[in-house]
Amino acid sequence: MKNIWTKLASAALALIASAGLSFAIYQTNIDGIGLGSTTAPALTSCGTTPAIVGTDLAGTVTMGTTATGCVITFNSAKSAAPHCVVTWIATPLASQSYTTSTTAITLTQTSASNNVVKYICVGI
């Protein structure tokens, strides 16, 4: 699974470069998504005692017990909704979906406990 995240990150950087935005790599952020940030986004409505390791750019969320979704709120609002890829790490549930906005990633799923989700976002 580690290999897929490496490929995804490489693809995201290639996309940025091919879009003529390679200069952004040298900046400390891309549209407010900090490349060097160490502050984790806030979690709400994620079941009992959820956990997150990551930043606005990418991270891993472990939802709490009986979670039917989760809101991952960015540290700062973006000027436009970033392009995010979200992957549930487990047996697929009956329902799994997500939306992105300028302030958050909102996950919706069939009720489950300790479900793990990985995400990566690129600003526009």
* Boundaries of domain holding 12: 2-122
pLDDT at 35: 53
Q: Tokens 């690129």 — which residue?
A: 122
- Count of structural domains within the chain: 1
Mean pLDDT by 10 residues, the chain (124 residues): 57 49 45 63 95 94 95 92 93 92 96 94 78
* pTM greater than 0.85: no
Strand ranges, E, within the chain: 29-30, 33-34, 42-44, 51-54, 58-62, 67-73, 83-89, 96-100, 104-112, 116-122
Q: d(Cα 8, Cα 13) in Å, to the nearest integer? A: 9
pLDDT at 4: 61
pLDDT at 50: 97
